[in-house]
Amino acid sequence: MSENTPSGVGRGRSVVPLVPMTARRRDEAHRTATPLELLFDLCFVVAVAQAGARLVHAIAEGDPGHGVGGYFLVFFAIWWAWVNFTWFASAYDTDDVPYRLATLIQMAGVLVLAAGIPRAFDNGDYAVAITGYVIMRAALAFQWLRAARGETGPARQTALRYAAGLVVVQIGWVVLLLLPDAAWWWGFVPLAAADLAVPAFAEQHYRTTWHPHHIAERYGLFTIIVLGETIAAATVAVRSALDDSAALDELLPIAAGGLLIVFAAFWIYFAVPIHEYLATHQHPFLWAYSHYLIFGSAAAIGAGIEVAVEQATHHAHISTLAASLAVTVPTAVFMITTWAVHARHFKRGTAQHAVLPVGAVLVLASSFAGHWAVPLAGIALACTIATGIWLAARPAPARP
């Protein structure tokens, strides 16, 4: 933060009409998530819930291909818009009036995107969803132009590159909407790749001063948000059990297993001080980008729990195995990706490295346990954590 910036600005404690948007220090003390960022995240809860609900409907109706494909397309827009705001805020949050108003516009874009999710899933109509996405990205381009005005030299060039890249790619999304529907599948992949390439293009000569501890906290908070979908699904299971006593013996184990899965997933993700890793890697693109799978699978666990509930109450037209896989597959994906891009940096020795992959295999194996698949998956996760704790607590072997 600039030395001339009033104390507290950018930390949610005081607001002034206008502050020059210059980079905050990477070593700034007590850099934490602001109340505005937390409010911003709440808007994404709505979008994630909408995507999860449509995924549940598609799988329950026996159309997993359509459901999973649509889910990952929509979740890409949710995730990437959140990622870009988070990293920009970590480097340039001034918390002045223009910054807050631009954030308000981004929040409106999130809600428009959420409103368009049902149409995208049911009719393949992505117009509303992309409109919301473009609104968010246009507001972010404005933020980068503000940053360019407040910076000089390489920092200014990076900010201008960000703004230009965002504008060009958003024009591409708008053009794609105007083309025939058949062009959607041909245009999505290159445009998504172009969106992902903007940070690498912009930061060729200057790296923005994002804060390692702040980024770690923001990613952790969003992980909690998406895992919260599983808590909501477990609540649905308990409510359904109270309404349908005939399925009580199936629904309560699903609720208990779902709660155990989400708690274990939380434990696994937060078991390592990832800010230490980020502090030593100036440009951790792989870590940041791979959270698409971590966030997406975490939210999909909740959708899978709801599918298991619908199958147990005979509202889903799928087999018990299919309903079980709706829970165990995203759980295993969460475990593998969390290990590969997040936890493995702090593991020592073959045994510690093998714990999460082996645990993921056990979770997948529980899929064949019929109505006990979900609680057994939770137990497998608990055993994985217990094994990891035991291995970490063992004394290091003595050197000869």
Do residues 254 and 239 touch, judged by C-beta distance below 8 A? no
Distance, CA of 76 to CA of 165 (rounded, Å): 18
Do residues 100 and 15 touch, judged by C-beta distance below 8 A? yes
Q: Residue 352 pLDDT > 50, yes or no? A: yes
For helices 64-92 and 127-150, what crossing angle results, to 10°? 20
- Alpha carbon 306 to its chain centroid, in Å, reads 19
DSSP 341: I
pLDDT at 282: 66
List of residues 6+ apart from 276 with CB closer than 8 A: 212
pLDDT tens digit string along 240-265?
Answer: 766 766 567 788 888 889 889 999 99
Distance, CA of 105 to CA of 40 (rounded, Å): 10
Nearest to 301 by CA among 282, 277, 329, 280: 329
Region(s) of the chain under CATH 1.20.1410: 212-392
Question: DSSP assignment of 173-186, as one string?
Answer: HHHHHHS-GGGHHH
Could you tell me which CATH number the domain at 212-392 has?
A: 1.20.1410
The two structure tokens encoding residue 368:
């064949």
Distance, CA of 381 to CA of 177 (rounded, Å): 43
pTM over 0.85: yes
pLDDT tens digit string along 120-140?
Answer: 888 888 889 999 999 999 999
pLDDT tens digit string along 199-221?
Answer: 999 998 899 999 999 999 999 99
pLDDT at 18: 84
List of residues 6+ apart from 30 with CB closer than 8 A: 11
